[in-house]
Structure 1
Amino acid sequence: MTINEHITEFAGLPVVDFVPDMEPPADPSGVAWRITEDHDLSEMIPEQVEHLPTVVDPADVRALIICAWDAPLSVEQLVGLASRLTGLRAVFLGEMTFEECEISWIEQEDITPLLAAYPDLEVLRVRGTNGLALAPVRHAALRELAFESGGLPASVVRAVAACDLPALTHLELWLGTDEYGGDTTVDDLAPILAGTRLPAVRYLGLRDAEIADEVAATLATAPVVAQLDTVDLSLGILSDKGVAALLAGQPLTHLRRLDLHHHYVNRELADRLTAELAGVEVDLSDHQAADNDRRYVAVSE
Structure 2
Amino acid sequence: MTIGDHLDQLHGLPAHTFPGPDETTDDLPEPDTVAWRITSDVYDADEEWPKAFARFCAAVDTTRVRALIVGAWQEAYDSDPSPVIEALVAARDRFPALRALFLGDMVMEECEISWINQSDVSPLLAGFEALEEFGVRGGSGLEFTALSHNRLRRLVVETGGLPAEVVRGIGASDLPALEHLDLWLGTPDYGGDSEASDLEPILSGARLPRLRHLALRNSEMQDAVAAAVASAPVVERLEVLDLSMGVLTDEGAAALLGGQPLTHLKTLDLHHHYLSAAVEERVRQTMATAGVEVDLDRDDAEEDTEDDGTVWRYVAVGE
Structures share fold, TM-score greater than 0.5: yes
1:52, CA displacement in angstroms?
1.0
1:300 correspondence with 2:318: yes
* 1: CA distance, partners of 2:297 / 2:26: 43
1:33 equivalent in structure 2: 36
1:291 correspondence with 2:295: no
1:17, CA displacement in angstroms?
0.6
1:247, CA displacement in angstroms?
1.0
2:2 touches 2:112 (CA, 8 Å); kept in 1? no
1:202 correspondence with 2:212: yes
2:6 touches 2:106 (CA, 8 Å); kept in 1? yes
2:64 equivalent in structure 1: 60
User: 1:84-122 CA distances to partner (integer Å, 9 max, x unpaired)?
Assistant: 111111111111111110111111111111111110011
Of 127-136 and 204-213, the range deviating more from structure 2: 127-136
CA-atom RMSD, angstroms? 1.5
1:121 touches 1:141 (CA, 8 Å); kept in 2? yes
1:150 touches 1:180 (CA, 8 Å); kept in 2? yes
Secondary structure of the equivalent of 1:277?
Answer: helix
2:72 touches 2:110 (CA, 8 Å); kept in 1? no
2:157 equivalent in structure 1: 147
Equivalent residue for 1:129, pick from 134, 139, 158 = 139
Matched ranges for 1:136-285 at <5 A: 136-278=146-288, 279-285=291-297
User: 1:64-97 CA distances to partner (integer Å, 9 max, x unpaired)?
Assistant: 1111241325211111000111111111111111
1:24 touches 1:55 (CA, 8 Å); kept in 2? no
1:267, CA displacement in angstroms?
1.2
1:44 equivalent in structure 2: 48
Matched ranges for 1:63-142 at <5 A: 63-69=67-73, 70=75, 71=79, 72=81, 73-142=83-152
Aligned letter for 1:60?
R
1:17 correspondence with 2:20: no
1:24 touches 1:56 (CA, 8 Å); kept in 2? no
Structure 1 gaps, min length 5: none
1:208, CA displacement in angstroms?
0.3
Q: TM-score, normalised by structure 1?
A: 0.96
1:40, CA displacement in angstroms?
9.2
1:62, CA displacement in angstroms?
1.1
Secondary structure of the equivalent of 1:83?
Answer: helix
Q: 1:76 to 1:26 in 2, by over 3 A?
A: closer
1:156, CA displacement in angstroms?
0.4
Structure 2 gaps, min length 5: 306-310
User: 1:247-288 CA distances to partner (integer Å, 9 max, x unpaired)?
Assistant: 111110100111110000011111111111111110000253
2:7 equivalent in structure 1: 7
Of 63-72 and 140-149, the range deviating more from structure 2: 63-72
Aligned letter for 1:34?
R
Secondary structure of the equivalent of 1:30?
Answer: coil
Secondary structure of the equivalent of 1:174?
Answer: strand
1:27, CA displacement in angstroms?
2.0
State how many pairs are aligned. Answer: 301
User: 1:116-162 CA distances to partner (integer Å, 9 max, x unpaired)?
Assistant: 11100111100002221111111000011111000000000000000
1:42, CA displacement in angstroms?
5.1
2:308 equivalent in structure 1: none
* 1: CA distance, partners of 2:201 / 2:30: 42
Secondary structure of the equivalent of 2:47?
Answer: coil
Of 24-33 and 105-114, the range deviating more from structure 2: 24-33
